[in-house]
């Protein structure tokens, strides 16, 4: 489960994707995400996943990207199961091909969905992320909260592992028993984790106050974001693709599986 | 008995944390794993109860391959106390916290009651039975973590960095505790970079560096090898440095008990007839 967070963690690199203006990347990820949500067709989902894999390959983050998807497998299975159950009632039958196809499409779409923003987070530094949000006029207090959440995610994932280890050393067997018993078994893991998170947030708040967080209303940044011709070109290409995706969906619906 | 046969371990990120570790620990030994942060001490400890399985080589505990046993089964033999005690607290009372592990291991409620009472008394925590583990002081939390493990009475007790954040008095109590556990015939393994603590405990010392064991022997033998110690970013214990400076009195570099050294100095000074 902790692996899913790896897809949200920045890894330094020098690829074209890394160097792209974060605003363009945000647009790219949003475009992929929205397109994923617009189409249920497996062909389109496959196309989007192909684009995402290509982008991951160019930025050299395929391995981590795959790990994110791998970590999401329980989630994907859960989505499939839920869809399948609901559709079994809808089509009154468990073996209805339409129900099976739609449940598959929904869970398959989840991969494209999760991966879309993974590309953004894998190639954007928390600093750039902060600048992007500031440019989008998000108040810095919220931006900071968001950045810290991303920064602390890997630390918390590590802590989660340590706590799980500590409880397993006390004879807790997380992977044993029925589904309900298993959920109950996570209480000894979640309580120390939440306690640690709360303590950490108090410590962070104190550290921020010591450093006079919020003393000046207008923030300046060491680096300023600037759009280069390359960024603009990328922006135009993404806009064309995204525009045609929306056009095809609403004005010229395709008849594909 | 614990046996590590050419153990290598790689973390999922590709970092090699253990490198060709060959080690045997007999029943009833007191062992200190030493080395700087990231040397592989905790990784090694986690191999003993199967939390981590070797990438190459194998770990045998009483002849059982850790890859073929569950963590729960191995933990009954080896109690591992984690560095940060708070990582394991979740119950609303100290009593429940200790009882949790015993129930996991399937003890009868009657036995659970007896063992919890014994363990809390043994660690001098019996007056806190109804309190939340989170309101205890730092030292008490460490003691509770140890009580939790002692409750099911494992043959081998592994303590990860037991002295961090402890004052001198707590350290001395811990030392007595380790000696007591050892007297009961238990194997005690600690990881530490507290040279002074280990010097006083005088266990078998295993020095680790970058996942490798670079020195293994009695405390005196290891602590006298200043070059190897320094390569692990460790300073020799003060008493060893002192004996080195007392060369002019004819005292050999060694790791004596402080009182023993004091007596020796006095007797040598006596020869000077001030």
Looking at this predicted complex, what is its ipTM? 0.88
If residue B204 lies in a helix (H) or strand (E), which one and from where to where?
A: strand B204-209
- What average pLDDT does this structure show over A28-51? 89
Q: Is there a contact between B81 and B149 (Cβ–Cβ < 8 Å)?
A: yes
pLDDT, tens digit, for every residue of A48-95?
999 988 888 888 888 877 877 787 888 888 888 888 888 888 777 667
Residue A98 pLDDT grade (very low, low, confident, very high; cuts 50, 70, 90): confident
**A55-64, B4-13, B60-69, B255-264: lowest mean pLDDT where?**
A55-64
Nearest to A187 among B72, B79, B90 (CB): B90
Averaged pLDDT score across all residues of chain B: 92
Q: Is there a contact between B48 and B126 (Cβ–Cβ < 8 Å)?
A: no
> Residue B73 pLDDT > 70, yes or no?
yes
- Interface membership of B115 toward A (CB under 8 Å): no
Distance from C-alpha of B29 to C-alpha of B27, rounded to nearest angstrom: 6
Residue B147 pLDDT grade (very low, low, confident, very high; cuts 50, 70, 90): very high
Distance from C-alpha of A63 to C-alpha of A116, rounded to nearest angstrom: 15
Distance from C-alpha of A14 to C-alpha of A30, rounded to nearest angstrom: 22
**A56-60, A202-206, B46-50: lowest mean pLDDT where?**
A56-60
Minimal C-alpha gap between A64 and chain B (Å):
10
Nearest to A192 among B51, B87, B152 (CB): B87
Distance from C-alpha of B142 to C-alpha of A155, rounded to nearest angstrom: 23
- Chain A residue numbers touching B144 (CB-CB < 8 A): none
Nearest to B105 among A171, A190, A196 (CB): A171
User: Chain B 44-103, CB below 8 Å of chain A: which residues?
Assistant: 46, 49, 51, 70-72, 75-76, 79-80, 82, 84, 86-90, 100-101
Helix, coil or strand: residue B77: coil
Q: Closest Cα to residue B99, out of B144, B134, B60?
A: B144
Q: Is there a contact between B141 and B85 (Cβ–Cβ < 8 Å)?
A: yes
Residue B235 pLDDT grade (very low, low, confident, very high; cuts 50, 70, 90): very high
Q: Give me the pLDDT at residue A126, please.
A: 81
Averaged pLDDT score across all residues of chain A: 85
Q: Is there a contact between A235 and A24 (Cβ–Cβ < 8 Å)?
A: yes
Residues near B241 by beta carbon (within 8 Å), at least 6 away in sequence:
B235
Minimal C-alpha gap between A194 and chain B (Å):
10
Distance, C-alpha B7 to centroid of its chain = 20
- Nearest chain B residue to A193 by CA: give it: B87
**A42-59 and A62-71 are packed helices; what angle lies between their axes, rounded to 10 degrees?**
140
Residue A4 pLDDT grade (very low, low, confident, very high; cuts 50, 70, 90): low
Domains of chain B by range and CATH?
2-222 (3.40.50.300), 237-274 (no CATH)
pLDDT, tens digit, for every residue of A213-255?
888 777 777 777 888 898 899 999 999 999 998 888 888 777 7
Q: Give me the pLDDT at residue B272, please.
A: 66
* Residue labelled with tokens 């009475």: B153
Q: Closest Cα to residue A231, out of A17, A57, A61, A58?
A: A17
Would you tell me how many other CB atoms lie within 10 Å of the CB of residue B215?
19
Q: Please report, to the nearest 10 degrees, the dihedral formed by the alpha carbons of residues B37, B40, B44, B46 taken in order.
A: 60
- CA contacts within 13 A on the Cβ side of A188: 26
Q: Is there a contact between B159 and B203 (Cβ–Cβ < 8 Å)?
A: no
Q: Which tokens belong to B51? A: 């939390």
Is pTM beyond 0.80 here? no
Q: Closest Cα to residue A230, out of A16, A39, A7?
A: A16
Alpha helices by DSSP H, A60-139: 62-71, 73-90, 97-123, 126-135
> Residue A183 pLDDT > 80, yes or no?
yes
- What average pLDDT does this structure show over B174-182? 94
Q: Give me the pLDDT at residue A146, please.
A: 85
Q: Give me the pLDDT at residue B274, please.
A: 55
Q: Give me the pLDDT at residue A117, please.
A: 83
């Amino acid at each position: 489960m902790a692996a899913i967070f790896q897809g949200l963690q920045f890894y330094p690199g020098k690829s074209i994707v890394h160097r792209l203006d974060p605003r363009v990347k945000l647009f790219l990820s949003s475009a992929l995400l929205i397109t994923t949500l617009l189409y249920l067709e497996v062909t389109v989902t496959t196309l989007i996943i192909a684009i995402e894999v290509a982008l991951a390959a160019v930025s050299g983050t395929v391995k981590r990207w795959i790990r994110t998807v791998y970590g999401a497998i329980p989630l994907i299975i859960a989505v499939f199961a839920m869809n399948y159950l609901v559709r079994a009632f809808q089509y009154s039958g468990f073996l209805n091909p339409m129900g099976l196809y739609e449940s598959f499409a929904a869970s398959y779409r989840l991969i494209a969905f999760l991966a879309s923003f993974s590309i953004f987070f894998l190639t954007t530094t928390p600093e750039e992320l902060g600048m992007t949000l500031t440019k989008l006029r998000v108040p810095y207090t919220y931006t900071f909260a968001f950045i810290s959440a991303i920064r602390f995610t890997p630390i918390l994932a590590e802590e989660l592992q340590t706590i799980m280890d500590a409880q397993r050393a006390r004879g807790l067997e997380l992977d044993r028993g029925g589904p309900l018993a298993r959920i109950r078994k996570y209480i000894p893991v979640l309580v120390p984790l939440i306690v640690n998170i709360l303590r950490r947030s108090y410590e962070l708040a104190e550290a921020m106050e010591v450093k006079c967080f919020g003393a000046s209303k207008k923030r300046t940044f060491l680096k300023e974001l600037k759009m280069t011709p390359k960024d603009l070109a990328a922006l135009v290409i993404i806009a064309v693709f995204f525009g045609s995706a929306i056009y095809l969906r609403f004005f010229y619906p395709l008849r594909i599986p | 008995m614990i046996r590590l046969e050419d153990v290598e371990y790689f973390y999922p990120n590709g970092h090699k944390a253990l490198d060709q570790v060959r080690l045997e620990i007999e029943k009833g030994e007191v062992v200190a794993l030493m080395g700087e942060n990231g040397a592989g001490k905790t990784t090694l400890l986690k191999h003993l109860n199967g939390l981590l399985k070797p990438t190459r080589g194998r770990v045998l505990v009483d002849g059982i391959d850790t890859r073929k046993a569950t963590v729960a089964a191995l933990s009954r033999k080896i109690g591992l106390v984690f560095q940060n005690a708070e990582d394991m607290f979740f119950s609303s009372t100290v009593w429940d916290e200790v009882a949790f592990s015993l129930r996991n291991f399937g003890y009868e409620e009657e036995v659970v009651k007896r063992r919890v009472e014994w363990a809390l008394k043994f660690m001098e925590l019996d007056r806190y039975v109804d309190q939340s583990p989170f309101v205890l002081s730092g030292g008490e939390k460490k003691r509770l973590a140890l009580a939790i493990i002692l409750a099911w009475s494992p043959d081998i007790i592994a303590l990860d960095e037991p002295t961090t954040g402890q004052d001198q008095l707590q350290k001395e109590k811990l030392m007595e505790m380790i000696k007591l556990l050892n007297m009961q015939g238990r194997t005690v393994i600690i990881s530490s970079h507290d040279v002074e603590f280990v010097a006083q405990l005088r266990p078998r010392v295993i020095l680790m560096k970058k996942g490798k064991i670079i020195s293994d022997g009695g405390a005196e033998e290891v602590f006298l090898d200043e070059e190897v110690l320094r390569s692990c970013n460790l300073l020799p214990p003060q008493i060893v440095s002192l004996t080195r400076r007392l060369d002019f009195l004819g005292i050999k570099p060694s790791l004596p008990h402080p009182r023993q050294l004091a007596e020796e100095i006095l007797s040598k000074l006596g020869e000077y007839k001030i």
